[in-house]
Chains A and B, each alone.
Chain A
Amino acid sequence: MYEIWLALNIVYEIALGFWPALLILLLAWLALLAVNRRGLGAVPLSRLLLVAAGVAVLVGIALPVLTLSSFRNFGYWVDWANWFAVAAGAGGFAAIWLWPVMARRYR
Chain B
Amino acid sequence: MDPSLVLNRRRWLLGAAGAGAMASLAAPAAQAARLKTQARIVIAGSGLGGLAVATRLTHMLEGARITIIDKKQEHNYQPGYTLVATGVWPVGKVRDRNADLQPAGVEWIQDMVAEFDPAGNAVRTAAGQRVPYDYLVVATGTHQDWGLIEGMDVTAIGQNGLASVYPSPEAAQATWHAMDAFRRKGGNALMTLPATPLKCAGAPLKMTFMLRDRLAQAGTLDQSTVTFYSALGSVFGVKPVNDNVVARWKDLGIGIETTQKLKAVDIEARKATFVTPEGVASDVAYDFIHVVPPMRAPDAVKNSDLAWKEGNFAAGGWLEVDKDTLQHRRYKNVFGIGDINGTPRGKTAATVKKSAPIVAQHVVDVIAGREPGQKFDGYTSCPLIVREGAAMLIEFDYEGRLVPSLPMIEPLQESYFAWLMKYAMLKPAYMAVLKGRV
Residue positions of A touching B, CB distance < 8 A: 2-3, 5-6, 9-17, 19-20, 64, 67-70, 72-79, 82-83
Nearest CB in chain A: distance from B245 CB, A = 16
Given contacts A64-B416, A70-B389, whether A17 and B11 have CB atoms under 8 Å apart is: yes
Complex CA distance for A85 and B88, rounded to whole angstroms: 24
30 contacts between A and B (CB under 8 A): A2-B438, A6-B432, A9-B22, A9-B432, A9-B437, A9-B438, A10-B429, A10-B432, A13-B428, A13-B432, A14-B424, A14-B425, A15-B18, A16-B19, A19-B11, A19-B18, A64-B416, A67-B389, A67-B420, A67-B424, A68-B389, A69-B423, A73-B415, A73-B416, A75-B415, A76-B410, A78-B415, A82-B416, A82-B420, A83-B416
Nearest CB in chain A: distance from B431 CB, A = 5
**Chain A residues within 8 Å of B115, by CB:** none
Q: Is the CB of B416 within 8 A of A75?
A: yes
User: Does chain A have a CB within 8 A of B253?
Assistant: no
Given contacts A9-B438, A76-B410, whether A69 and B420 have CB atoms under 8 Å apart is: yes
Nearest CB in chain B: distance from A95 CB, A = 23
Which interface class (under 10, 10 to 19, 20 to 34, 35 or more) fits B? 20 to 34
**Chain A residues within 8 Å of B414, by CB:** 73, 75
Given contacts A9-B437, A17-B11, A68-B388, whether A76 and B432 have CB atoms under 8 Å apart is: no
Q: Is the CB of A79 within 8 A of B432?
A: no
Return the CB mask of B391-413 against A: 1 if under 8 Å, else 0: 00000000000000110111001
Nearest CB in chain A: distance from B415 CB, A = 4
**Chain B residues within 8 Å of A75, by CB:** 390, 413-416
**Chain A residues within 8 Å of B104, by CB:** none
Q: In chain A, what residue has the closest Cβ to B431?
A: A13
Q: Which of A10, A14, A20, A79 contacts B417 (CB 8 A)?
A: A79
Return the CB mask of B336-370 against A: 1 if under 8 Å, else 0: 00000000000000000000000000000000000
**Chain A residues within 8 Å of B11, by CB:** 16-17, 19
Complex CA distance for A64 and B424, rounded to whole angstroms: 12
**Chain A residues within 8 Å of B390, by CB:** 69, 73, 75
Apart from the given pairs A9-B22, A76-B413, A78-B417, 11 other A-B contacts in the complex at a CB distance below 8 Å? A3-B406, A6-B432, A10-B429, A13-B427, A64-B389, A69-B389, A69-B420, A73-B387, A75-B415, A75-B416, A82-B417
**Chain B residues within 8 Å of A72, by CB:** 389
**Chain B residues within 8 Å of A15, by CB:** 18
Q: Which of A3, A74, A82 contacts B405 (CB 8 A)?
A: A3
**Chain B residues within 8 Å of A9, by CB:** 22, 428-429, 432, 437-438
Residue positions of B touching A, CB distance < 8 A: 11, 14-15, 18-19, 22, 88, 387-390, 405-406, 408-410, 413-417, 419-420, 423-425, 427-429, 431-432, 437-438
**Chain B residues within 8 Å of A77, by CB:** 408
**Chain B residues within 8 Å of A2, by CB:** 438
Q: Is the CB of A12 within 8 A of B415?
A: no
Q: In chain A, what residue has the closest Cβ to B14?
A: A19
Q: In chain B, what residue has the closest Cβ to A9?
A: B432
**Chain A residues within 8 Å of B425, by CB:** 10, 14
Complex CA distance for A11 and B429, rounded to whole angstroms: 9
Q: In chain A, what residue has the closest Cβ to B422?
A: A67
Given contacts A19-B11, A19-B15, A79-B417, whether A12 and B88 have CB atoms under 8 Å apart is: no
Q: In chain B, what residue has the closest Cβ to A76?
A: B413
Q: Is the CB of A12 within 8 A of B22?
A: yes
Q: Is the CB of A79 within 8 A of B431?
A: no
**Chain B residues within 8 Å of A69, by CB:** 388-390, 416, 419-420, 423
Nearest CB in chain B: distance from A22 CB, A = 9
Q: Is the CB of A12 within 8 A of B389?
A: no
Q: In chain A, what residue has the closest Cβ to B405?
A: A3
Nearest CB in chain A: distance from B251 CB, A = 15
Q: Is the CB of B428 within 8 A of A10?
A: yes
**Chain B residues within 8 Å of A68, by CB:** 88, 388-389, 423
Given contacts A68-B423, A75-B416, A78-B415, whether A12 and B14 have CB atoms under 8 Å apart is: no
**Chain B residues within 8 Å of A11, by CB:** 428
Nearest CB in chain A: distance from B403 CB, A = 14
Complex CA distance for A15 and B22, rounded to whole angstroms: 12
Complex CA distance for A5 and B436, rounded to whole angstroms: 13
